[in-house]
Chain A
């Protein structure tokens, strides 16, 4: 069955959109990421205009993250208190980061620097997580042995609070600052920030992997709502029909992902996540090095 998407102005197979949503939703449920990095290019590949793909994809992330957060929440894997503080920092950082982008663009070579920083960061995070998870799988230590032990500054700065869900004591200032940093990075790179959030929670804050996934997904809800509204108001490119098909798939996928995640150990989750991070890094590197098929393409997208 095919459907015509009124804002995108294209006709598309419904099962294809539903399946894409399902796969990306499963990743959200599994790893606590939005999945826009994967879905937007896939939508563009099947003929959705880039601007509509990016905007509608964010809309479906709202559904996937709500569905996944509820599934994780029932398992006691969402630290709402900690999530709210990091979110507050993230939204502040995101707003300032968006303003910073305008200024930095005028300095020239902004896109080049940001892309290179992003690739290096993905390489670093992916390789570090992969190596650590592999060691853990071989029984030689694990990041979950860091659980409950945030890094030095988090424990020593004032404004310390105990977070019973994550079982850590951590300074509110540090949480806000980390959220702020993730928000700035996300705004500079034009991504959601889930990629950075998860490693920060696991390795810097000492939050157990499953709880980090649930809490990260919780914060994604708010950033996705924020971006959806902005896209609808500024760019008028949200296609509700496209989003509806995607989100039906992704909300189901997120539930499956959240349940699948419970069957996996923390280190297994981390190694799968690191492989995806490294995969995205390789794809970005390929885009940077290989000559494009067409030098001028439709604008928009992540």
Chain B
């Protein structure tokens, strides 16, 4: 068993040499957020334990997704849509909470862990496909930066991309420390399994790392609608049309009923 663990550490633990030297644990409460029609966002308590005398850094990242963007530019003296882009593999939610400043981390560690105030990891992983003049092409990271920047800016405004330094509450415990943070998840949060990663960092080195999932899933009517919309478009579209037709008919019936009831509404003018 010990040999197995040692081999496992040698193979997978190279990036985090002291990962198993001391324990760090993290868990969200609640671990599952149900999104119904009355969902207004949620508050999650993320707490855990960590080795003593180290800084704690929390990172919360949702799965990558794609988003379509339009770019405006000047054609002659007119502002027009000049390109359409699809930005792929960008998480909708990327949040960092720490017990110390991010600047204390060496640049290489910031890059490796994704603990970067400028969300550099998002830029590194994103792919940008641009369509212009009927042709599409993949943009290199530097050229695609403006699209990713725009998307990150948009997510920041919605409270989905957050960096809060020294926002973790820590308390010395026997043989270590505990930490916690109350985190506001906005209503526009990404569905799916968001990964919460806690890093224990001392002297610019990761001495412990732990992951825990936070599941955000639509339930009830909201869940049914979303599932139908994403998995059975033709049936969902037919339902949508029938609901609309029925609503139009019902409202007309209601108006006729009230018209007859009152019998005093303006008469029909025929040409």
* Residue ranges of A at the interface with B (Cβ–Cβ < 8 Å): 2-4, 6-7, 9-11, 51, 59-60, 62-67, 70-71, 74-77, 102, 105-109, 111-112, 115-116, 144, 147, 208-211, 225, 228-234, 236-241, 243-244, 247-248, 251-252, 254-255, 259, 262-263, 266, 287-292, 294-300
Contacts and interface: CB of A to CB of B under 8 A. Distances in A.
B80 A115 contact: yes
Given A106-B134, A287-B79, A289-B79, A247 B247 contact: yes
Given A62-B244, A298-B67, A240 B225 contact: yes
Contacts, number: 212
Contacts of B69: 296-299
5 contacts: A66-B249, A112-B80, A228-B241, A232-B240, A255-B251
A236 B230 contact: yes
B117 interface: no
Give the size range of B's interface with the partner: 35 or more
The interface centre, meaning the residue of A229, A240, A291 with most chain B CB atoms within 10 A of its CB, is: A240
A40 to B, nearest CB: 14
B163 interface: no
B147 A296 contact: yes
A253 B51 CA distance: 64
B38 interface: yes
Interface in B39-95: 39-41, 67-73, 75-81, 84-85
B248 A233 contact: no
A67 B188 contact: no
Contacts of A240: 225, 229, 236, 239-240, 243
B108 interface: no
B72 A70 contact: no
B102 to A, nearest CB: 27
Contact of A298 (B154, B229, B256): B154
